[in-house]
A and B are shown apart, each in its own frame.
Chain A
Amino acid sequence: MSVVAAGAHTVPPEAPTAAAGEAIRLSQLTKRFAIRRGWGAALRRPLLRQWAPALEDITCTIAEGEFFGLLGPNGAGKTTLFKVLATLVLPDGGSAAVGGYDVVRQARRVRSILAPVITDERSLYWRLTARENLELYARLQDLPGETAPRRVSELLATVGLADAGRKLVGAFSSGMKQRLLIARALVARPRILLLDEPTRSLDPLSARAFRAFLREEISGRQGCTVLLATHNTEEALELCGRVAVLHRGRLLAVGAAADLIRQVGKERYRLWTRSPVLGSLAALEREGVVHQIATQPDAEGWARVDMDVAGGLEGAARVMDALSRAGASVGRFESVPRSLADLIEGIIERKRGSLDG
C-alpha cells in the first residue's frame, strides 16, 4: 500500500515526467552483453560469465525538435543505445526516458511517440506492394481505418514513391526500399525518429538526396526530433545541430558539431604545391602550429600536403604567411573534413591532457 503525503499530488503511473521541451533523457545508462566463449573455455569453467560493456554511464539530454547526431565507429554502442530507446533491448542500469516515459516501465507509451527506422530491407514484406506494407503498419500503429489510406498516399508522395505504390517491394531498388522504410516509421506521425546509418547502402547521389529529404522534410516540415547514428563525420556535421561522440560504449563528448571540432583544437588542411615547403612547415611544427604533416606527390609535379593546424583561422593564416615568405607556389589551400578517427583521437588526447593537467 502506498502512502501519499498530505497535499501531494498523486501522479498516474502512465504520466510522463519529462521537463518541458525535452525529448530524450539518458541518465547513467548502462548495458553490457555476455561474451560468447569457445567450447574449451565453457567446459573448463561452465559457470563463469564474461561481459563486454556496450554502454557505460551514458548521461545526456536531447531537446524536442533537435537533429542530434550519434557519432562513433562500429561497435561504439550506437545501435545498442537506439535499441534501448526503441524498447527492444533492456538496459542493465541507469534510466532512459522518451518524452518523459520510462523505456522499461512504460514501453508501449514510448512506442507511441518514437519510431525506429529499421534499415534492414528484409524487414519489409517483399511480396506485398509498398501501399500494402504501409497499410499494415498503419493498422499496427492504431491509425483509424478511414484515415489510413489518405495517410499512406501522403507518405508515398512524401518519400517520392507515389508512382510506385502498387509495385511489389521486391522489385524496388535499395534507395526506394530505404525511403519506404522511412515512410513506414513515419506512419503514426512519431515525435521522435531514430535513424541508424540510413545512407549506408545508398550510392553517393541517393545519399545526398536522402540527407536533403531528412533535413527539409522530416526535421524541417514535420518537426520531428531526429537521432541519427552514423560513423560518417561529414554526414553528422552536415545534418546535426549537436553531436555526441561514442567510443567503446562511453560518451566522449557532446556539443554543437562545429564547437566540438574547435574544442579538439586542430583542423585538417590540405595544400597543393609545386615547391619544397617542408622546411617552412617544420618551423611551424616546432612552434606547435602544425602537426601530423603527410606529403604525397602526384604525377603532374604537384605535391599534396595534409596537416593538422592548431589555432583556427589564425593558425591557417600563419601557414599562408610562412608559405608566402618562402615564395612557395601554392595551387590550393583548403580545409578538409576530419575523419571520425581523427575526431575521436583528438577528444581522447584532450581528455588525457585535462587529466594530466
Chain B
Amino acid sequence: MGKVLALVRANWLTAASYRFNLFVSLVSLIAMVIPVYFVAGALQPVMAKSIAGQGGEYFGFLLVGITTLMFLTTAVTSLPAALGSSVASGTFEALLGTRARLSEIVAGMVGYAFIWTTVRAFLLFAVGWMLGAPLVGEQSPAALLILGMIVLAYFPFGLFAAAGVLAFKTSGSLPAAVLTVSGLLGGVYYPTQVIPSWLQDLSAVIPLTYGLRALRAVVLEGGALSASAPDLAVLAGFIVLLFASSLYVFTRAVRHAKHAGTLAQY
C-alpha cells in the first residue's frame, strides 16, 4: 500500500504543479452545473412521468448520471492514458525495474485520477444540493458501495485499453466507444425505457444500466440497498466476468511486450 500511496503522491505533486489547470478543472465543473440546472428545470414536465421510479426530479436524475459518467470516464481512460505517457517517457520501464509489483504500479498510476474525480464529484453534489437537488444524504454509504461497483465493472475496459497500448501502442477507439455507448444507452441523460425497444435490448448488456438504476433508487428515492439486489447481482456478474478476462488480457499484453522488447516503445 505504501508504494501505491507514494505513486499517488507523485502524481498529485505533478498535477498540483499545474495550478491553473486545477483551478480551471474545478471552475468549469461549477460552470457546467448551472446550465444543467436550468435545462433540467425546463425539461422537468416532459421527463417527470418517465423518471417517476427514479426520484421523479430531473435535475437530481441528471446530477447522478453525470457524476457517475465522470467516474466511468476515469475508470476507462485513466490507465491507458497514464500508461501511454509513462511508456513514452520511459517512466514505466523505470518503475518496472523497482521492487514494486505490477498491480501496485497500476494502482498507483490511476489512484490520483480517482481521488481527483471523487473531489470533483463531491463538489458537483454540493453545488447540486445547494441548487435544490433532492439527494438523500443518509444513504451515502450505500451510494458509495454502488458507485464502487460501477467503477469496478468499468475499470476492466481500462485494462483492455491499456493492454492495447502495451501490445499495439494504441488503445484504439475502445474507451471512446465504451463511454459513448454507455452514456447513450446506460441511462445517464434519460431513463432506458424511453429509448426505442430494439435499443433497449442493447442497454440490457450494459453494466451502467443496472448500476445507475440502483444508484438512483438509493440516492434519489432513499430506497434500501436490498431493494436493488437484483440489479446489483447482475452488476456483480459483470465485475467477475470482465475483471477475470481483462486481467488475463492485460498480463498477456505485458508478457507480449516483454517478449517483443517493446515495453519502452510508443
Contact = CB atoms under 8 A, between A and B. Distances in A.
Interface of A: 31, 33-34, 54, 80, 83, 86-90, 92, 108, 111-112, 115-116, 118, 120, 122-125, 127-128, 132, 135-137, 139-142, 145, 168, 184, 188
A123 B98 contact: no
Nearest to B6: A139
Contacts of B98: 111, 137, 140-141
A118 B14 contact: no
Given A88-B258, A92-B259, A140-B98, 12 more contacts: A33-B260, A34-B260, A83-B261, A87-B96, A88-B263, A116-B97, A122-B88, A123-B91, A139-B6, A140-B3, A140-B6, A140-B100
Interface string B6-46: 11011001100110000000000000000000000000000
28 contacts: A33-B260, A87-B97, A88-B263, A111-B99, A118-B93, A118-B97, A120-B90, A122-B89, A122-B91, A123-B94, A124-B91, A125-B14, A125-B91, A132-B10, A132-B13, A136-B6, A136-B7, A136-B10, A139-B2, A139-B5, A139-B6, A140-B98, A140-B100, A141-B99, A145-B2, A168-B17, A184-B94, A188-B99
Contacts of A111: 97-99
Contacts of B261: 31, 33, 54, 80, 83, 89
A127 B13 contact: yes
Contacts of A34: 260
Given A83-B261, A88-B263, A90-B259, A123 B100 contact: no
Query: 7 tightest CB-CB pairs across the interface, nearest first?
Result: A139-B6, A123-B90, A120-B90, A122-B89, A140-B98, A127-B17, A123-B94
Contacts of A80: 261
A260 B96 CA distance: 36
A188 B97 CA distance: 12
A118 B97 CA distance: 9
Nearest to A31: B261
A89 B259 CA distance: 6
A42 to B, nearest CB: 14
| Most chain A CB inside 10 Å of its own CB: which residue of B5, B10, B98 | B98
A168 B258 CA distance: 32
Given A90-B258, A120-B90, A140 B95 contact: yes
A125 B12 CA distance: 12
Nearest to A112: B99
Contacts of A141: 98-99
Contacts of A88: 93, 96-97, 258, 263-264
Interface in B247-263: 255, 258-261, 263
A124 B5 CA distance: 18
A63 B261 CA distance: 27
B90 A139 contact: no
B234 to A, nearest CB: 38
Contacts of B88: 122
A41 B87 CA distance: 29
Given A123-B90, A140-B95, A128 B259 contact: no
Contacts of B260: 33-34
A118 B94 contact: yes
Nearest to A33: B261
Contacts of A115: 97
A87 B97 CA distance: 7
A112 B10 CA distance: 22
Interface string B93-112: 11111111100000000000
Interface in B208-266: 255, 258-261, 263-264
Contacts of A137: 98
Contacts of A33: 260-261
A241 B89 CA distance: 34
Contact of B90 (A54, A118, A128, A188): A118
Contacts of A139: 2-3, 5-6
B127 to A, nearest CB: 30
A210 to B, nearest CB: 19
A125 B56 CA distance: 49
Contacts of B101: 108
A128 B15 CA distance: 10
